[in-house]
Amino acid sequence: MGAESLPLRLVTCDASRREPGTIYFTTRPGGLPTRGLQAWVIGIDQGGSVSLNKQFQGTSQDIRYQPDGTLLFSQSAQGIINQLDRQGNVLRRWHARGKFLDKAPPEGSTELPVNFIHHTVSYLPNGDFLILDAEARDYDNWHTSASDRGAPRGKARVVGDVITEVTREGKVVNRYHVLDMIDPYRATQSILSGYWRKQGFPDSNDWCHCNAVVHDPSDDCLIISLRHQDCIVKFRRGSGELVWILGNHSEWGRPWSDYLLKPEGNLAWQFHQHDCSTPRPGRVLCFDNGNYRRGAFEPAVPDKDNFSRLVEFEVDRKSMSVRQIWSWGGPAGDGAYACYQGGAMRLPKTGNTFGTFGGICTMDGVPTSENEGSFGRARLVEVTPEGDVVFDMWIDDSASPEPRAFSAFRATHAPA
């Protein structure tokens, strides 16, 4: 296997029932130690053939189709957003100021006044970017344990995300600080995560870990996915005022508990989710990674018994309630446990849903939530509203004599 090749394994492709157009996704080595930094942008057409296989130096993260026919492709570790044509050629670049304080940015790149461009790349109808930046604050009497409620408290450095609206010329329009939006003392299973310790905030705790932000055009609000808080939050654009919080009800105090959506019917909360979108007004679709499936200070579901799924909720704003109306995967399905990365996308013509099971990690063949030191694969699926699988592709190098681990952040769709 050459260094440029990828272990793509097509299991199912029913082109007649698939969404017309092309699916683009990013992939990169992950899990087991890898040789250097590599990133790919891959295009798969309706018939299941590879229409684009473009390799980049550095890491890969999000990808998003734009109405003008181009793609936005982010490289978070490098602090770069690339605009690509559908052949993978770079048309324009933007970079985070904070990543280039002691080195020159890419030639011709436009500077954005943020410290980071992490996880997603999103935009508003007017074209302005929605960037995920980050900040650290120090707190007294903060948690030292997510499993022992009686553990002593202490001083802590806490990282929170800053959702930043910025024009493509680099002018900030709005900043929204998650540490000011929800309770900075709310405990979950992952609040002591060290993700940001290698990203510029030593001795810090990754309290919320935002991984998606989208605009809801029905009411001009923003919706964010807070992975480590196990919740999806909607707030008003401009004021930052909370509208609702979708997630399990553990460890919330007032006034935040007043914004919790009340579950109705047979609903299972999402945990450690990725991606979020509004397929139609009042609906929320996300990729439910499922890590732990419990709140802080509760026994977690063992990794070997866990699962991930695609799930859609319907929110009733007047009654502040939520119903689960569709899901695929999980214990009763043929999904898998993807402990990190992932995406869910409703396709416009067929109503099919495209899912990215981004980081399916195992140790000695057993599912694990450890995405370092493990073996990683990714699965890309398209399912009908009835749950029939019409596309199933794996990025899986396990059959190679020297297997490489891979992950995939999410996918986007470009119409035919």
Structure confidence by residue, pLDDT tens digits, 346-366: 999 999 999 999 999 999 999
> What average pLDDT score do residues 293-317 get?
97
* Nearest CA among 407, 410, 411, 408 for reference residue 30: 407
Say what the pLDDT of residue 388 is. 96
> What average pLDDT score do residues 181-186 get?
98
pLDDT band at 186 (very low <50, low <70, confident <90, very high): very high
Say what the pLDDT of residue 43 is. 98
Position 90 pLDDT exceeds 70? yes
Position 69 pLDDT exceeds 80? yes
Say what the pLDDT of residue 278 is. 97
Say what the pLDDT of residue 36 is. 58
Q: Tell me which amino acid residue 385 is.
A: P
| Distance from the first to the final alpha carbon of the chain | 32
SS3 of residue 177 by DSSP: strand
How far is residue 10 from each of residues 49, 307, 354, 415, measured CA to CA in Å?
Answer: 9, 22, 15, 21
- CATH number of this structure's domain 8-414: 2.130.10
Alpha carbons 182 and 187: distance in angstroms, whole number:
12
pLDDT band at 105 (very low <50, low <70, confident <90, very high): very high
Range picked from 2-6, 31-35, 283-287, 329-333 for highest mean pLDDT = 283-287
Contact assessment for residue 401 and residue 6, using Cβ atoms and an 8 Å cutoff: no
SS3 of residue 283 by DSSP: strand
pLDDT band at 30 (very low <50, low <70, confident <90, very high): confident
Least confident of 93-102, 146-155, 334-343, 390-399: 334-343
Catalogue the E-assigned strands of 154-296: 154-166, 172-177, 204-206, 210-216, 221-226, 231-236, 242-247, 262-264, 274-277, 283-288
Of residues 92 and 34, more confidently modeled:
92
pLDDT digits (tens, 9 = 90+) for 225-268: 999 999 999 999 999 999 999 999 999 999 999 999 999 999 99
Mean pLDDT of the chain: 95
